[in-house]
Structure 1
C-alpha cells in the first residue's frame, strides 16, 4: 500500500476531487488502496469549504485508518469561530460550515484530528518543528495538544490558544503557555532564529533579510528532527519544495497555483492546476 500526502486544500473542493481521482487511477492495479494523508488547512479561503470538509471526513471514516489529516491554523480557526472565541474574517469562507445541518458532526470530527503524524518514516506537520525538538518529543507534544482538543472543555482551551508568546521552546513550559507554543510552531511557524525564537510577521516571503537573524525553521543548524524527512504545508511562497529529508507541499492552490500530492514511497509528484480564488494580502 502506497502513501500519498496532499498539501493545503483550503476549501478547493473541485481540485481535491480531481487530484484524488488521479491518485486512484495511478493505483488502480495495486493490491490495496493507497493511504491518503492531508497536511492540514482543509478549509477556508477557497470556494467550497463545506464540501471539502465533508469529503475528507467521509474518506477518513470509510478508510479503516488509511486516510487522515493533521490540523492546520485555518482548521483551528474554524473551531475557534464555531465556539465564539474568534470572529470570522472578511476573507473567510467558513459560514456554510457553521450553518450546515451536520455542523456538529463535522466539528467533532475535526477536533479529533492530530497535530502531527508519523508515516512511512516521514513526519507530517502543517507548518514546522522547533529546532530543539527531536522527532519523538514533537510527536509527544502533539499528543498533549490533541488530548486537550478532544477534552470536555474545548472552548476554554481555544480561548487560551491565541497569542505569540512564548515565542521559543523551554522544556519547563507548562499549562497554556506550553500548549500555545506547540500549536504556534506546528501550525504557524515559517521563520525563526538560530536558537529557535519564532517570528510571525513574515508571511508572504520565502526568504528573510540575513541581517534579521531569521531563517526558515528547516535550515536551523543542528535541528534535532533533521534525521527524519519532514513533510509540511502552510508556506505557499515556497511552492513545492523537495530537499533531502524535507518536502514542502503548499503550492498555493487557493492563490492560482497547484494542489500537490507526493507519494512517500517513491517521492513522485502529482499536481492539479487551480484558478485563483483569493488575492494575496495576508494569507494565513
Structure 2
C-alpha cells in the first residue's frame, strides 16, 4: 500500500466519538482503504475506553498502535501491580466478558513501529539509540509482554531508575529504561538522563535553569538523520511538525482536538473535541 494512504493519529484516551468523527472526515474517507498508525494511549481518562479500544481492534490489519503509558497502566492494574487512580476509566474494559482477550490484544501491540522512514513511538527515543537499536530494544520488552507469564515479568518494569542508558545494564534495568523512554519521556539533559516531572511545553528557560531540553533536541541524537520520529504523549507541546519529528498529541481528552497527519504529504486533519465530540472531553 502506498504511504499516501497511511494516517498517523494522536492520543485517543477513550474519546471514541472524536475518533468516529475523525474517521468520517472527507479527506480520510477519500482514501483507498486507508491505514492508521495510532500513537498509543488508546484508553484512559476519556469516557469510553472500551468502545475506543474495540473500534481500533475492529480495523484489523489496517491499524497498528504502539503502546502508551496508559495502555501499560491498564496492564499493570490487570496484573494486580498498580492501583486504580481516581481519574482512571478502565472499569468497562476490566469488567467486559472478553476482558482477557482485550488485554491480550493490548499486550501484543508493539512499543515501536517503523515504515517508510518514519519511526512511531508513544513518547521518545534516547539520543544514544539508532533506529535499529530502538527496534531491537523494543522487541526485547515486547517478547516479555507477550509471554504467558507476562504478569510476573511486568513486575520489574516499573520505576524511574536507571534514568540514563548504559550498554552494561542488567536485564531488569534494560526493560525499565526502554519502557520509560518509549512511553514516558519528554525531557532529558544533554547526556540523555531522563526527567519525568516536567509536563509543560518546553522553553528556553528550562535549558538555562535546569539543564533540561526536549528529548528530540538532545545533542548527538542518532535518530535525527535516520528517520522522522512520530510520537504523542505531550499534550502541552501540541502539534509539532519538523523534518525530523512529528508530535501528534493535541489534547483531545482535555477538550482540545484529535489530530491525524497523512504520512505521504503531511496533510493535517483535526477534529475539534469540544464542538464535535461534546461529552467525550
Normalised TM-score (structure 2): 0.93
Number of the residue aligned with 1:146: 142
Is the 8 Å Cα contact of residues 253 and 259 (structure 1) preserved in structure 2? yes
Q: Which runs of 4+ in 1 moved over 4 A?
A: 27-30, 276-279
Is the 8 Å Cα contact of residues 258 and 272 (structure 1) preserved in structure 2? yes
RMSD of the alignment, in Å?
Answer: 1.5
Number of the residue aligned with 1:53: 53
Shift of 1:278: 9.5
Shift of 1:40: 0.1
Number of the residue aligned with 2:253: 254
Determine the C-alpha separation between the residues in 2 that align with 1:187 and 1:277: 27
Number of the residue aligned with 2:104: 108
Which one of the candidate residues 5, 8, 14 is aligned to 1:5?
8
Determine the C-alpha separation between the residues in 1 that align with 2:269 and 2:186: 24
Higher helix share: 2
Number of the residue aligned with 1:26: 27
Is the 8 Å Cα contact of residues 46 and 277 (structure 1) preserved in structure 2? no
Q: In the alignment, is residue 263 of structure 1 matched against residue 262 of structure 2?
A: yes
Please show how residues 1-284 of structure 1 align to structure 2 within 5 Å. Answer: 1=2, 2-22=5-25, 25-28=26-29, 30=31, 32-60=32-60, 65-207=61-203, 208-227=206-225, 228-275=227-274
Is the 8 Å Cα contact of residues 256 and 277 (structure 1) preserved in structure 2? no
Is the 8 Å Cα contact of residues 120 and 265 (structure 1) preserved in structure 2? no
Determine the C-alpha separation between the residues in 1 that align with 2:93 and 2:243: 39
Determine the C-alpha separation between the residues in 1 that align with 2:104 and 2:163: 30
Determine the C-alpha separation between the residues in 2 that align with 1:49 and 1:103: 12
Is the 8 Å Cα contact of residues 47 and 280 (structure 2) preserved in structure 1? no
CA pair 278-18 structure 1, distance change in 2 beyond 3 A: closer
Which stretch has the larger CA shift, 236-245 or 200-209?
Answer: 200-209
Cα deviation, 1:155-208, whole Å, max 9, x if unaligned, reads: 112211110000010111121111100000000000000110000111234332
Is the 8 Å Cα contact of residues 228 and 243 (structure 2) preserved in structure 1? yes
CA pair 40-27 structure 1, distance change in 2 beyond 3 A: closer
Normalised TM-score (structure 1): 0.92
Determine the C-alpha separation between the residues in 2 that align with 1:223 and 1:277: 41
Cα deviation, 1:23-45, whole Å, max 9, x if unaligned, reads: xx325555x31111100000000
Determine the C-alpha separation between the residues in 2 that align with 1:95 and 1:28: 32
Is the 8 Å Cα contact of residues 240 and 251 (structure 1) preserved in structure 2? yes
